[in-house]
Amino acid sequence: MEQAEGSSTEECDVILAFCPIVSRAGTDIEAALEQIPAGKPVILVVLHHTFDPDYTVPDSSRLVTRGDEILTVDCLFHENQGLLECPRNESVLKDILKKLCPTEGQNTPLIQDERTGAYDTIEKL
C-alpha cells in the first residue's frame, strides 16, 4: 500500500479526524463533522479523556447522522499518557487498519509492537 500525505481534503483518499470530547459528545461530534467536507470516506476518532483503561463510553457512532461513509471509533486517552493501553484501543486500531487496508495478502501492513520491537501483520494483532 502506497501512502501519501495530502495537503488538502480534495487531494486525500480518506479523512482521518480526531474529536476530543470536551463538553458533550453530541455537540463536539457535530462541531467536528461540520468542519469535514462530505464526499470522502472519513475515520472519526472520538477521544474520551480518562485515567481508567476500563472506562465505559457510549457508542459515538449513534451520534453521527451524516449519510456519507464514516467510520466512528471511540478511544480512551489521557493528556500525559496519550492513548491508553487497553482492549478498547487495540480493537479500534484494528478497525482503523482494516478500513485503511481492506485487502489481505501481499499488501498487508506490518505493525511494530512498541514493547518488544517485533513486527506483526494486522491479522495477527
Q: Does any domain span residue 55?
A: yes
More confident residue, 124 or 113: 113
Q: Does any domain span residue 8?
A: no
The set of residues, in sequence order, having a beta carbon less than 8 Å from that of 114 and lying 6+ positions away, is none
Region 56-77: what's the mean pLDDT? 91
Residue 78: strand pairing partners = 82
Most confident of 5-14, 57-66, 107-116: 57-66
In this prediction, residue 113 carries a pLDDT of 63
Region 17-23: what's the mean pLDDT? 93
**Cα angle for residues 66, 69, 74 (degrees, 5° grid):** 80
Count of domains observed in the chain: 1
* Grid cell locating 60: 459515538
Q: Does any domain span residue 119?
A: yes
User: Is the confidence at residue 42, as pLDDT, over 50?
Assistant: yes
pTM of structure? 0.76
Determine the structural domain holding residue 23 and report its residue range: 15-124
